[in-house]
Amino acid sequence: MTLLEVEGLTKSFGGIKAMQDVSFSVDEGQILGVIGPNGAGKTTLFNLITGFLAPDRGVVKLAGQSITGLRPDLIARRGLARTFQISEPMNALTVEEAVRISAYCRSGINRREAFTVAAEVMERVGLLDNSKKLTSSLTAAEIHRLEFARALAAGPRMILLDELAAGLWPEEQAELVRLVTEASRRDGIAFLIVEHKLSFLQSVADSSIVINFGQKIAEGPPAEVLRNSEVEKAYLGSKE
Amino acid sequence: MKLGFRYGVGAVILAVVVAAYFSGSVRWTQLVINGLWFALLGAAWNIQAGIAGVLGLGNALFIAVGAYTSIYFYNTYGISPWIGMWIGAGISMVIGVLVALPCLRAGLRGITYVFATFASSQILLFWLLDQRWLGGAGGIRLERIDHSPINFRFTTNEPYLLLISAMLAAVMFFTIFIQDRRWGLYMRAIRENEKSAAMSGIPVLRYQLIAVALSALFTSIAGSFYAQFQMSVSPSAVLSLTMALNTIIFTVVGGIGFVFGPVVGAFGLIALSEIALHLSGTSADFASIRMLIYGASIIAIALFLPGGLMSLFDPRRSKDES
Amino acid sequence: MDLFLQVTVDGLVTGAVYALVAVGMTLMFGVMRIINFAHGDLLMVGLYATFFLTTGMGEATISSQVLVAILVVAIMTAVGLALYGALRPIIDEPELSHVMLTVGISIVLQSTAQLMFTATPMWLNAGNWKVVNIGPVSLEQRHLLALVMIIVITAVMYFTISRTKYGRQLRAVSENREMAGLVGIDSRAVIMAAVVLSTVLLGIAAFVMLPLTYASPTVGIPYTLLVFVVVVVGGLGDMVGALVGAILVGLTQAYGNTYLSGNWSGILVYGMLFAVLIVRPRGILGRGRVI
């Protein structure tokens, strides 16, 4: 069952064509990777899908309903969660508060239930012991887990991961792989993953698309796609 | 923040208020009422600025609305200020949202939002100066003074002291209460990072406007108190740059986001200026010396303690948690 | 029609005065992003300096006037250095700290002036300023001087910021201090020069303006407010924009005062600020920096 459909997504800034006619889809439970060099348009793609940018042309549909140009918070409430690359989210809030806020995304949830959801999610990602800590005092790896927790707490049907493996040690990365695959298998959550660390991508994604200069230049299983000569050219040999 | 500090500060303030109440001195009760009133202005602003991060400079507008409506409705229709102040609050909330909405939507933040909101208060100033039916530059005064508590009139200062203390306490309790509820969490998230907040499902603009409306509500009530206590109001008294700064300076000096910030800032600055009085003796220059000390302490805070006085107790963060 | 022309000229003169005062703020706020709530009070300092020096000199000859001007510039340079000294520790702090500091400085300046000079406004002797008649319009020489000065100063400042090496450094530092440091620019020196230049410009403005106004502790407040309107309406950081903004504000006030009322001119001026912020945040000319 198709969950996310992106059709003909196009966006220009001034004279620069940041996104040109990009189309792809993600099925329920599928994990799709987005590969591409820096400046290729991956973050623009995420911003367009999650409502932070409005496309010049094109449609984004979630579960058959158009979410193009909708406000980010409304898109989030419809089941599309996202992590951010920013290193200092919600500084003055505690871990528990940051996660609980996302729990309120779930329609009809009350105060007591929000506490419960937050506790469950924190335990799942291994942050329960740190729940009273300020997010400003977390380590980089813990922040990444917090971002994931916030996405999970919203009860989404799909999560967009934005470079979540960046700067992680191998053990931490393996932990993230486990969390993603578990969420996919156990909760049926679909994933759209932007990632530089190809090793991470290859461990989780079933399929992938390659973006360069705002255009989709390849599509297919990661291993296959990475052997594509076009893709190699795009990366100019910078593989991890 | 360790609760101990908060209770300690609260106890000191309470002691000061109680002492003033039983002192029997008109001068002392007046002074403490002033301090509490400034603290109330600051506490109201703290909701939009300290919790939601909306830094405006237009709250003087609500003081004016609250003051004028309470006097006007009493003079014209005999409506008790106890009711009149809610009319003023309602009008203030509407105006507050009407002004904030286009500004926030247009992406004005920081100093540009400060200018836009200040401009709105100045527009009201000039409009009031122009309206003869509202007294023009002279303003309006209470026309019938009937010394009845039903009409918000008391013969001595002490009941006013109790009233303003209760109002301030109510706003402070509200601030503490809201921190951990969904509304408060949403606003605090907005203050931290608007994009991240939106991604957590928070309708950012809506909650910023709610914060502004709450701030307007409490500030307007403070304005009504002012009008009833002073028995009159004029545009230049409530809409000057000085009054605009009064709505923010005590919170900034005490510490934005700290529940006790406004009251510590207000009493701290007032205490300093009282010390100035005693140092300068009888000179006619007292007002200027007091302002000098005032200004110098603000400079000192800006340079050495930008997080505010309360940040001495909690340097890592600039906000309270319950 | 004659009235219209006269009012227009008066508005232009007022605008020129605002522009004189606004140049310094464009530099500090528009370019350097330093908010200075004490801007008008620094003007006040310049006005007092000019007043005492001028009356102290006795006879108003060309050479004595030149001496006064030089001394005022020297005094304002010292003031600027002091201001920079106060700003330096918090230059990288968020805007709120700058607001707090400069509000404090504003209050200190006003109360000190009050203590030293009392609140009595101090006017220069009217002297014999000749009146110039251009068609149906009459203008005093001192107003004409203000107009000329502002055009000269704006042109010089514009040239400085866009063409000279210092101007390039200034723009580099205001955009990205770290990068500027990496390419070898001493941003502290650049900022210090900008602050001092601002206060010196205020000194020049005060020197030109004193014959048109007076010195008193609170004379600066309206200027601070109006000049904020000017730089926002004109576009933050743009010298020419500031001139245009000043003229617009001056004309609005003149027409408002004459054809409507004093209060309505106030409403129009602040309404203009509000409208520009919402609809055209980069200023009337669209050349301001993004807010």
Give the model confidence (pLDDT) of B229-250 as tens digits. 999 999 999 999 889 999 999 9
B209 touches chain C (CB under 8 A): no
d(CA B147, CA B154): 6
CA distance, residue B107 to nearest chain C CA (Å): 8
Q: How far is CA A177 from CA A127, A166, A225, in A?
A: 16, 13, 20
Fold of the B2-321 domain: ABC transporter involved in vitamin B12 uptake, BtuC (1.10.3470)
Chain B interface, mutation test: which of C28, C274, C290, most B Cβ atoms within 10 Å? Answer: C274
Task: Give residue A69's pLDDT.
Answer: 87
Average the pLDDT over B58-63 and give the result: 96
A94 touches chain B (CB under 8 A): yes
Q: Which residue of A has its CA nearest to B186?
A: A101
Task: Give residue B228's pLDDT.
Answer: 92
Task: Give residue B50's pLDDT.
Answer: 92
pLDDT over threshold 80, residue B283: no
Q: What is the ipTM, given to two decimal places?
A: 0.88
Could you tell me the residue ranges of all domains in chain B?
A: 2-321
Strand A158-162 versus strand A80-82 pairing type: parallel
Q: How far is CA B277 from CA B274, B284, B285, C180, in A?
A: 5, 11, 10, 49
d(CA A68, CA A55): 8
Phi, psi of B143, rounded to the nearest 5 degrees: -90, -35
Rg (C-alpha) for chain C, rounded Å, is: 19
Q: How far is CA C229 from CA B103, B315, C35, C247, in A?
A: 16, 36, 13, 11
B173 touches chain C (CB under 8 A): no
Task: Give residue B316's pLDDT.
Answer: 53
Average the pLDDT over B215-240 and give the result: 95
Contact yes or no for C103 and B108 at CB 8 A: no
CA dihedral sign, ordered A187, A188, A190, A191: positive
Could you list the mean pLDDT of each consecutive 10-residue stretch along chain C, which spans 291 residues? 84 87 86 86 94 82 82 95 92 85 94 90 71 70 75 81 80 76 81 91 88 88 91 86 91 91 90 90 81 62
Task: Give residue B319's pLDDT.
Answer: 42
Task: Give residue B322's pLDDT.
Answer: 31
pLDDT tens for chain A, 240 residues long, are 899 999 999 999 888 888 889 999 999 989 999 988 777 788 889 999 999 999 999 999 999 999 998 999 999 999 999 987 765 678 889 999 999 999 999 988 899 999 999 999 999 999 999 889 888 888 888 888 899 999 999 999 999 998 887 778 888 888 888 999 999 988 999 999 988 777 888 888 888 888 888 888 888 888 887 777 667 776 654 454
pLDDT over threshold 50, residue B186: yes
**In B, which residues are within 8 Å of A102 by CB distance?**
200-201
Q: Chains A, B: CB contacts under 8 A, how many?
A: 84
Segment holding B11, helix H or strand E? helix B3-23
All domains of chain A in start order, with CATH: 1-79+157-240 (3.40.50.300), 87-155 (no CATH)
d(CA B242, CA B238): 9
Contact yes or no for B189 and A93 at CB 8 A: yes
Neighbours of A195 (CB within 10 A): 25
Nearest by CB to B193, from A82, A90, A134: name it. A90
B55 touches chain C (CB under 8 A): yes
A124 touches chain B (CB under 8 A): no
Q: For chain B, give the percent of residues with pLDDT over 70.
A: 95
pLDDT-based confidence at residue B320 (cuts at 50, 70, 90): very low
Task: Please name every residue paired with C114 in a beta bridge, in sequence order, or none if there are none.
Answer: none
pLDDT over threshold 70, residue B184: yes
